Structure 1
């Protein structure tokens, strides 16, 4: 279609992560049904939390898209377009805890900071950061 620009790159939540969250929702729901008062409350809250996360992943699986005109970030608050001119910094924040290394892609766009993990993007965040840096004018 003429006039419609497709994003050159898209990063989405892996299906396995969505399935894992859905399984967590079902298991917590079963625990809520068979538990006593305290277990009912805690398992019900966990079921609701897993349900919200699973629903978000099913409704908006693409978390980040990048094209020539900028980025499209999708999350709980909806979809937001960010031009490359508004992107101040792209970096990978790495933390080491309990013998594990956790990495987050950080996109600083003025007053907003968008954080993405490997579980949001389906690829190592270092690879995504490198791709974004190459695409950025």
Structure 2
């Protein structure tokens, strides 16, 4: 197994912000092409494109969603901020599995008492189950995990 005391980071895959920004540009182009002078259609296309562009920019500004070191974890907070969670603040690390549209989705959940931090596969660039396994091992090694309490 990997050294659980080593610093590790999980980030958004590089292709994802590019796809979001390309999608925003495509929406603007389609809005201009098919709006037929209708300001409502054009405004709606521009609004959706703006939302998609902001989402893509967030991935560029704060690509690291989760980081681990011997003292605890750092999670993305807000638009592009980060919050440090020492190991003693972590209450649970779980993976929630739910069927959606015929597929099973996994979400990593980090419960820090008053806050709950959720990460999907595209936030982490890895399987939430694999990340949870690494986090639990580091948490236990730190002496604050379920085995250390």
Alignment TM-score, normalising by the size of structure 1: 0.90
Mapped to 2, the partners of 1:39 and 1:109 lie a distance apart of 43
Gaps of 5+ in 2: 1-5, 143-149
- Indicate the SS of the match to 1:71: strand
User: Which residue is equivalent to 2:85?
Assistant: 82
Mapped to 2, the partners of 1:28 and 1:107 lie a distance apart of 35
Question: Is the alpha carbon distance of 1:16 and 1:77 closer, same or farther for their aligned partners in structure 2, counting shifts above 3 Å?
Answer: closer
Figure out how many residues of one structure are paired with residues of the other and give that number: 131
User: Which residue is equivalent to 1:112?
Assistant: 115
Question: Is the alpha carbon distance of 1:73 and 1:109 closer, same or farther for their aligned partners in structure 2, counting shifts above 3 Å?
Answer: same
What are the superposed Cα offsets for residues 97-118 of structure 1, whole Å, 9 maximum, x if unpaired? 2211111100000110000000
Are 1:93 and 2:96 an aligned pair? Answer: yes
Bigger mean CA deviation after superposition, 30-39 or 74-83: 30-39
Structure number, greater radius of gyration? 2
CA contact (8 A) 2:61 2:80 kept: no
Mapped to 2, the partners of 1:79 and 1:44 lie a distance apart of 30
The structure in which a higher percent of residues are strand is 1
User: Which residue is equivalent to 2:59?
Assistant: 57
Mapped to 1, the partners of 2:55 and 2:9 lie a distance apart of 20
Gaps of 5+ in 1: 1-6
- Indicate the SS of the match to 1:66: strand
Mapped to 1, the partners of 2:31 and 2:90 lie a distance apart of 44
Return the match for 2:43 from 12, 25, 41. Answer: 41
Mapped to 2, the partners of 1:102 and 1:9 lie a distance apart of 23
